[in-house]
Amino acid sequence: MRVYPVLLESGSLIAVALGATRLSVNSVHHQSIRYLGEGLRITARSPDGIIEGVESDSDDWWVMAVQWHPEEMNDSPEPWDRGLFRAFAGRLAGG
């Protein structure tokens, strides 16, 4: 598994969900975002500039997406490793 650092925008949905602004993540993709879709903003990047996370730029639309694979980090001892799942579950529950 390829692991490398990702920097998160402070105050972003992703950073709040994970409780961090700097992570080591598993990223094995061979594709990445080149052109950002309308209504989205970049909130996470790897040091080489690859977009690793995006979210909605509007409070009316809740979107949070990452390029790495948090579902495969279930053996990770880091305290943030399930933060994305908690954020989604909280949103589904009306939180």
Q: What is the pLDDT of residue 18?
A: 86
Q: Tens of pLDDT along 50-93?
A: 999 999 988 888 888 888 777 666 666 666 667 776 776 677 66
List beta partners, residue 55: 41, 64
Q: What is the pLDDT of residue 43?
A: 96
Q: What is the CATH number of the domain that holds 29?
A: 3.40.50.880
Domain range spanning residue 17? 3-92
Other C-beta atoms within 10 Å of 3: how many? Answer: 12
Residue type, 10: S
Q: Tens of pLDDT along 30-54?
A: 788 889 999 999 999 999 899 999 9
User: Do the strands 51-56 and 64-66 form a parallel or antiparallel pair, or are they unpaired?
Assistant: antiparallel
Sign of CA dihedral 90, 83, 47, 33: negative
Query: In total, how many domains does the chain have?
Result: 1
Q: What is the pLDDT of residue 4?
A: 81
What pTM did the predictor assign? 0.79
